[in-house]
């Protein structure tokens, strides 16, 4: 019984009546499109696309494969047709077939097809009950969040299907008139130990094309048991730029809750503080020179002069507060503390103001004067080889006080 339950969790259940109408519509559309090849596609193997068939002539397998953007076995649909002829009361569809058969004739999926096409009330109710049963047993609902194109958090309706074999993503972009522009993606899930790898596809110009990749950490427990799932993604944004970033999935108790949360313009503070500005964008350029990689490229000569040993002497009103020593490796640009008992939790240094100012940012722990430290000084000191540099600092000391003052830098490159 357990094996049977697991099998059902990876399948779409379709009644004999519904599949009969589905197959009739698929065959009708295909034969009308290729009516000039009627004599050829009258052969079963050529019609469905299996066995000794001519790949240069039309076949349903090839037609569906173009739409799915992945391998479609023509004999699969033929075998389902044989099951239908044998009077099987409920047929099972797997993989891409659960979507592509319906999309081929212009429907989003089984539910859309059932509501719009099945006219017999009893048959419609029976099919909808199967759909509802499937959804109840194996569907999880989430609101997904990532930092988007317009410097704000983007929401997404995320549905995990078929015992975490498939994912459906609907990204929502609010319009000024109160409606949403939506983008839909369908994902195939592969689990490796404590990680989910999700490869997505989306419908574009009548074909299923590659969308992006999501990697989610789920631990070794049931993924549906967690209130939040964290991960990363890479994809194309709506401006067709290659992007990557952090993603958070928040579990919802029902589809209705997912819809309400995802269509609310309010972004929870606990989400915003995790995701704001956590985004990588790759401009749509192909550099042919080191000066063309990005707008920062012209400052590379100054950046090369940053590595070396630093001693920050911090003072306020001519009174020395203390110092902080560190070194930047000339090969890897790794920052390592030299002050005993001090650990650097997080560091960053960057050239700002068109490369004229060097900005350091540190989060510190241990026997440190500051928990947060920001420092600025002019880069012409580096360019001229000056060893004693003047600048300014600000930060948060170990007693949680805001503090700022003068900075003296002893530098050995």
Check if the beta carbon of residue 108 is closer than 8 Å to that of residue 203.
no
| Distance from C-alpha of 302 to C-alpha of 174, rounded to nearest angstrom | 43
Segments making up each domain of the chain, as ranges = 2-137, 140-282, 297-412
Q: Kindly list the distances between the CA atom of residue 220 and the CA atoms of 189, 254, 320, in Å, as whole numbers in the listed order.
A: 16, 24, 52
Q: 31-69 burial by CB neighbour count: b if 16+ within 10 A, else e? A: beebeeeeeebeeeebbbbbeebeeeebbbbebbbebbb
264: part of which helix (H) or strand (E)? none
Helix residue spans in 182-331 (DSSP H): 255-263, 269-275, 300-304
In this prediction, residue 305 carries a pLDDT of 93
Which residue's structure tokens are 């749509």? 284
pLDDT exceeds cutoff 50 at 312: yes
Res. 137 pLDDT band, cuts 50 70 90: low
The predicted pLDDT at position 193 comes to 83
Give the Cα separation of 156 and 177 in Å (integer): 19
User: Is the predicted pLDDT of residue 141 greater than 90, yes or no?
Assistant: yes
Q: Which residues contact residue 299 at a Cβ distance below 8 angstroms, ignoring those fewer than 6 apart? A: 351, 354, 355
Q: According to the CATH classification, is domain 140-282 in 1.10.3470?
A: no
Q: Which tokens hold the place of 413?
A: 């490159």
Residue 67: beta bridge partners?
none
Sign of CA dihedral 334, 338, 344, 349: negative
- H-run or E-run covering 169: strand 166-174
For residue 2, the model assigns a pLDDT of: 31
Name, in order, each residue with C-beta under 8 angstroms of 81's C-beta and a sequence gap of 6 or more: 23, 48
How many H helices and E strands in the chain? Answer: 13, 19
The predicted-structure confidence for 17-38, as pLDDT tens digits, reads as follows: 999 999 999 999 999 998 888 7
Dump pLDDT digits (tens) for 333-391: 999 999 999 999 999 999 999 999 999 999 999 999 899 999 999 998 887 877 789 99
297-412 under CATH 3.40.50, yes or no: no
Q: Which residue has the higher pLDDT, 145 or 204?
A: 145
Whole-prediction pTM? 0.66
The per-residue pLDDT for range 269-288, each reduced to its tens digit, is 999 999 999 999 987 788 89
Cross-strand bridge partners of residue 242: 236, 282
Please tell me the predicted confidence (pLDDT) of residue 56: 87
Return the pLDDT at 238: 81
Question: What is the reported pLDDT for 10?
Answer: 53
Asked if 290 and 297 touch (Cβ cutoff 8 Å), the reply is: yes
DSSP state of 224: G
Going by the DSSP 8-state scheme, the letter that residue 206 receives in this structure is: T
| CA dihedral sign, ordered 391, 395, 397, 399 | positive
Q: How confident is the model at residue 9 (pLDDT cuts 50, 70, 90)?
A: very low
Is residue 91 over pLDDT 80? Answer: yes
The pLDDT of residue 113 is 95
Q: What is the pLDDT of residue 5?
A: 35
Report the pLDDT value the prediction gives residue 15, as an integer from 0 to 100: 94
User: Is pLDDT of 136 > 60?
Assistant: no
Q: What is residue 169's predicted lDDT score, i.e. its pLDDT?
A: 95
């Amino acid at each position: 019984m357990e094996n049977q339950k697991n099998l059902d969790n990876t399948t779409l259940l379709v009644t004999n009546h519904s599949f009969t109408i589905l197959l009739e519509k698929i065959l009708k559309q295909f034969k009308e499109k290729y009516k000039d090849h009627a004599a050829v596609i009258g052969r079963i193997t050529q019609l469905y696309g299996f066995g000794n068939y001519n790949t240069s002539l039309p076949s349903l397998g090839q037609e569906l494969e173009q739409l799915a953007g992945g391998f479609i076995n023509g004999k699969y649909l033929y075998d389902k047709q044989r099951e239908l002829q044998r009077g099987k009361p409920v047929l099972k569809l797997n993989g891409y077939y659960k979507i592509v058969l319906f999309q081929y004739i212009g429907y989003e999926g089984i539910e859309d097809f059932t509501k719009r096409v099945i006219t017999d009330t009893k048959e419609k109710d029976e099919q909808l009950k199967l759909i509802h049963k499937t959804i109840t047993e194996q569907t999880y609902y989430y609101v997904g969040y990532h930092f988007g194109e317009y410097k704000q958090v983007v929401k997404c309706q995320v549905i995990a299907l078929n015992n975490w074999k498939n994912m459906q993503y609907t990204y929502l972009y609010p319009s000024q008139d109160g409606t949403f522009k939506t983008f839909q993606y369908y994902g195939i899930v592969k689990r490796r130990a404590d990680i989910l790898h999700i490869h997505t596809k989306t419908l574009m110009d009548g074909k299923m094309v590659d969308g992006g990749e999501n990697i989610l950490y789920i631990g070794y427990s049931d993924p549906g048991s967690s209130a939040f799932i964290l991960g990363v993604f890479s994809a194309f944004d709506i401006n067709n730029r290659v992007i990557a970033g952090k993603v958070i999935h928040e579990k919802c108790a029902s589809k209705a809750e997912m819809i309400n949360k995802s269509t609310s313009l309010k972004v929870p503070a606990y989400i915003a503080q995790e995701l704001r500005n956590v985004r990588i964008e790759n401009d749509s350029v192909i550099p042919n020179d080191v000066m063309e990689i990005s707008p920062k490229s012209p400052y590379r000569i100054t950046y090369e002069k940053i590595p070396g040993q630093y001693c920050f002497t911090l003072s306020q009103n001519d009174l020395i507060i203390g110092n902080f020593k560190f070194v930047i490796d000339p090969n890897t640009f790794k920052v390592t503390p030299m002050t005993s008992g001090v650990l650097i939790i997080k560091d960053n240094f960057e050239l700002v103001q068109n490369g004229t100012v060097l900005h350091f940012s540190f989060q510190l722990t241990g026997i440190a004067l500051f928990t947060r430290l920001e420092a600025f000084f002019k880069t012409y000191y580096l360019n001229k080889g000056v060893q004693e540099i003047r600048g300014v600092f600000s930060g948060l000391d170990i007693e949680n006080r805001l503090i700022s003052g003068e900075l003296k830098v002893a530098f050995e490159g």
